[in-house]
Chain A
């Protein structure tokens, strides 16, 4: 069980996340929706502790993880794997090594040294990585550089990396925002599969309401850093959307689409 208590994050004068209270039971697939700048990303990044909360607490199974540091922090991050909008794979490393990065927080003592010096992962770990890739139809790409894969393939590699962490939670920050509809569906299917078959608790940031309704057990809507809706997908009717955001669902979708295009363009530039 993941509990957020009064979680707040300020950047200078702006408050990105404002006193969020949330309880997520194990095994749930939660969609977090909201317009850009609503604080969705900051919320997920705080859970993985990529951002430090300004105030409030994060509890996992009753244990406070807000103030962890050193090995405790690394183990917490291992337990709540993260998937990013821009995939955040190491482009010049091969796909297999990218997936094996998920094993880093598991290495101890002598093994850790060997991994750091010579990327000496065990045969079992390599087989695990290949099996994970195979699950999403990517085993044949294992020895290619990550940069040679398409966006949709890279995102599935990122999910494999997350799986190798053997996490309890999977935090997906706009995982399909840079993908075309076909790849978006593949990635969302992968997330659902991970949730159903591996029993991971999945928190996924989305700005497509339809996707959230289709895939999630529960929808949390954010606006200006606050949680303004938290219910089953069926309760998020067009009227509720208009009441929360002041725009129709079509306008919401159009805005999301414009954002997707804007996000995809600089990504290509950075790779070139």
Chain B
């Protein structure tokens, strides 16, 4: 490739060579401006290496006090608090997931045609989502008093809007042709929802609810700090009296609990959604699917993946692509 040829191509398709000088300078200026703003923001928050260094020393002291972790004398309270937190997370997520199913259908454009209704409903979701769980917890502690009930309510209200939005998107991503099949067979509106849409979106909804349960178990610890029950109260008390070894014990216990829930929900997901016994692959499938190093999209990362998950759900009832034996 000679310089003349390169120049000819540059003249013919300047866009292929990274834009004009002017454009490049503009981008450079924008980049510098951003760096300047970043520096100013850090300076504004007193971001200084010395301060960080001192903070690090403080952290190290705490870490030293944490070793060895100790259950302390009130370990029964700790276990009780932990159980309470898990129960709060489960109840809150369960309520939210339950309410979010009908709300998800109501918020989906392919179910509710009335744009004004859908728009207002979605703005209501947005409003609920805009308020953090912790704020809800503070409000419910005032409303229903100290204790786990406030925590359950806070988790449920904060998550119902998020789950409803995710569910609505799942419903909108569902495949129309499957619903059309139900319509053509004479199914009414509710029958279309029940047999055309629900089987497609249920695995997505379920997977989301399980993820939320997992993450709520973590955040339930925070709710206790503001008086909404659970393990958080135990942590807050021990930090106040500087029993860092007991705090470390609680933290370890929480890590184990979250890991256990993660493992359990993964198993549950596989069992309910499929994947335990994958559908037989046709002989003509490209070997790429067999390669271990291939990056596969997760079951929920794309509409296609969602559809795959949906088809696995349908298959999860015992009969896959082959015709069902009579009597099933």
Specify which chain A residues have a CB less than 8 angstroms from the CB of B1 in the assembled complex.
124, 127-128, 131
- Establish whether residues A37 and B9, one from each chain, have CB atoms under 8 Å apart when the complex forms: no
Q: Does A259 make an interface contact (CB < 8 A)?
A: yes
Q: Does B291 make an interface contact (CB < 8 A)?
A: yes
Specify which chain A residues have a CB less than 8 angstroms from the CB of B287 in the assembled complex.
16, 41-42, 45, 51
> Which of under 10, 10 to 19, 20 to 34, or 35 or more describes the interface residues of A?
20 to 34
Which of A123, A124, A129, A263 counts the most B-chain CB atoms under 10 A from its CB? Answer: A123
Give the complex CA separation of A3 and B32 in angstroms.
55
Give the complex CA separation of A182 and B180 in angstroms.
34
Specify which chain B residues have a CB less than 8 angstroms from the CB of A131 in the assembled complex.
1, 5, 9
Give chain B nearest CB distance to A134 CB in angstroms. Answer: 9
Give chain B nearest CB distance to A237 CB in angstroms. Answer: 27
Q: Does B301 make an interface contact (CB < 8 A)?
A: no
Residue from B6, B9, B304 within 8 A of A269 (CB atoms): B304
Q: A residues within 8 Å of B by Cβ?
A: 11, 16, 36-37, 41-42, 45, 50-51, 84-86, 96, 120, 123-124, 126-131, 139, 142-143, 259, 262-263, 269-270, 272
- Establish whether residues A126 and B283, one from each chain, have CB atoms under 8 Å apart when the complex forms: no
Residue of A nearest to B5 (CB): A127
Specify which chain A residues have a CB less than 8 angstroms from the CB of B325 in the assembled complex.
none
CB-CB under 8 A for A127 and B6, given A50-B291, A96-B16, A142-B16:
yes
CB-CB under 8 A for A139 and B286, given A50-B291, A131-B5, A269-B304:
no
Specify which chain B residues have a CB less than 8 angstroms from the CB of A96 in the assembled complex.
16
- Establish whether residues B284 and A262, one from each chain, have CB atoms under 8 Å apart when the complex forms: yes
> Which of under 10, 10 to 19, 20 to 34, or 35 or more describes the interface residues of B?
20 to 34
Residue of B nearest to A258 (CB): B284
30 chain-A/chain-B pairs, Cβ below 8 angstroms: A11-B290, A36-B283, A36-B284, A37-B283, A37-B284, A41-B287, A45-B287, A45-B291, A50-B291, A51-B291, A84-B286, A96-B16, A120-B18, A123-B10, A124-B6, A126-B9, A126-B16, A127-B1, A127-B5, A127-B6, A127-B9, A130-B9, A130-B16, A131-B5, A142-B15, A142-B16, A143-B16, A263-B284, A269-B304, A272-B303
Specify which chain B residues have a CB less than 8 angstroms from the CB of A50 in the assembled complex.
291
Binding site secondary structure of chain B: helix
Q: Does B17 make an interface contact (CB < 8 A)?
A: yes
Specify which chain A residues have a CB less than 8 angstroms from the CB of B304 in the assembled complex.
269-270, 272
Specify which chain A residues have a CB less than 8 angstroms from the CB of B12 in the assembled complex.
130, 139
Give the complex CA separation of A208 and B304 in angstroms.
31
Which of B6, B303, B304 counts the most A-chain CB atoms under 10 A from its CB? Answer: B6
Q: Does B13 make an interface contact (CB < 8 A)?
A: yes
Give the complex CA separation of A86 and B294 in angstroms.
15
Specify which chain A residues have a CB less than 8 angstroms from the CB of B284 in the assembled complex.
36-37, 259, 262-263
Specify which chain B residues have a CB less than 8 angstroms from the CB of A139 in the assembled complex.
12-13
Specify which chain A residues have a CB less than 8 angstroms from the CB of B16 in the assembled complex.
96, 126, 129-130, 142-143
